[in-house]
Amino acid sequence: MAVQIVTKLIPLIVAGALAFSAATAATSPARTMSIVVLGDSLTAGYGLPADQAFPVQLQKALAAKGFAVNVINAGVSGDTSSGGLARLDWSISEGTDAVIVELGANDALRGISPAVTEKALDAILGRLTGRGIPVLLCGMLAPPNMGADYTSAFNAIYPTLAERHKVDLYAFFLDGVAAERSLNQADGLHPTAEGVAKIVERILPKVEDLIRRAQK
Q: How far apart are CA 73 and CA 54, in angstroms?
A: 8
Query: Alpha carbon of 122 to those of 7, 65, 157: distances in Å?
Result: 62, 32, 9
- Which residues are bridge partners to 100 per DSSP? 37, 136
Bridge partner residues of 101 (DSSP): 38, 137
Query: Annotated catalytic residue: which of 28, 89, 149, 187?
Result: 187
Task: Tell me the β-bridge partners of 33.
Answer: 69
**Is 165 annotated in the active site?**
no
Residue 190 bears catalytic tag: yes
69-75 and 33-39 beta bridge pairing? parallel
Which among 140, 154, 150, 151 has a CA at the least distance from the CA of 189?
140
Catalytic residue among 79, 97, 190, 209: 190
Strands 135-138 and 98-102: parallel
Q: Does the annotation mark 182 as catalytic?
A: no
Q: Which of 40, 41, 81, 107 is catalytic?
A: 41
Report the alpha-carbon distance of residue 204 to residue 62 in Å, rounded: 8
Q: Looking at the annotation, which residues are catalytic? A: 41, 187, 190
